[in-house]
Homo-oligomer: A and B are copies of this chain.
């Protein structure tokens, strides 16, 4: 993975420190959302999915961008008009998006899973920012027209909500991040938590995990501890199954 730790103990991603990355993300999203709000609303067109907006942030500042304490970087926004449309569909107002992401500190999550990605959550717990690999970003970009179709036809989808795809370019490195909904907000108190994969091979929470205050159990634990499954009322059940079935086609 690209994740590391530097001499001072700070997390790094592709040798860029987490604080630099957070700063660049906040400056970049601040610019791109502000820039977009000055453009009139219009229909999303097919070609909008392929647009990449790019803006240079020299540390001394420019007539478009403020001065900052990081090295010069470039900030790229993928499909800005399409993502604006998605955010609108999801009920995210530009001001709220801007405020949550840019005006409040981003909090680094300490348990970022096996993927080698860095995860941040916004202070209000609304958004997750995750670093993605080149291939993943490319894949998401290609997926956008199909994603648009799914959202239109299946608005109750349980697939991840993507709010933005960005790239911080600095010192010859590209760090791509995606902004998503946080499906585990802290306000919802979890009394039992499963990470289910549909596999039984080595899918049991470790001893160490089970000692935690709110452990994440896995497939074999679920089968053992909840042999009767989950109880849902009939309407909720059929709505959930319908949504899952439609999501599985995409």
Residues of A within 8 A of B (CB): 42-46, 145-146, 148-150, 152-154, 246, 249-250
**Sampled A-B contacts (12; CB under 8 Å):** A43-B149, A43-B150, A43-B153, A43-B246, A44-B149, A44-B153, A45-B146, A45-B250, A46-B149, A145-B149, A148-B149, A152-B152
> A44: shortest Cβ distance to chain B, in Å?
6
A46 to B44, CA, bound (A): 16
Residue among B146, B152, B246 making CB contact with A46, cutoff 8 Å: B146
User: How far apart are the CA atoms of A44 and B153 in the complex, in Å?
Assistant: 8
Give every chain B residue within 8 A of A149 (Cβ-Cβ): 43-46, 145, 148
Q: This chain: how many copies in the complex? A: 2
A150 to B44, CA, bound (A): 8
Chain B residues with CB under 8 Å of A45's CB are 146, 149, 249-250
Which residue of A42, A43, A44, A250 has the most chain B CB atoms within 10 A of its CB atom?
A43
The CA of A154 and the CA of B146, in the complex, are separated in Å by 18
Given contacts A44-B153, A145-B149, 6 further A-B contacts (CB under 8 A): A42-B249, A43-B149, A43-B150, A43-B246, A45-B149, A46-B149
- Residues in B neighbouring A42, C-beta threshold 8 A: 246, 249
Closest-by-CB residue of B relative to A157 is B43
Report the Cα distance A249→B153, complex, angstroms: 23
Q: Tell me if A43 and B249 are in contact (CB < 8 A).
A: yes
A199 to nearest B CB, angstroms? 26
Cα of A148 to Cα of B46 in the assembled complex, Å: 10
Alpha-carbon distance A63/B192, docked complex (angstroms): 57
Chain B positions within 8 Å of A154 at CB level: 43
Of all A-B residue pairs in the complex, the 10 with the closest CB atoms, nearest first, are: A46-B146, A43-B153, A152-B152, A145-B145, A43-B246, A46-B145, A43-B154, A44-B149, A45-B249, A46-B149
| Assembled-state Cα–Cα distance A45/B250 (Å) | 7
Docked CA distance A149–B246 (Å): 19
Q: Which residues of B contact A249 (CB under 8 A)?
A: 42-43, 45
Q: Which residues of B contact A150 (CB under 8 A)?
A: 43
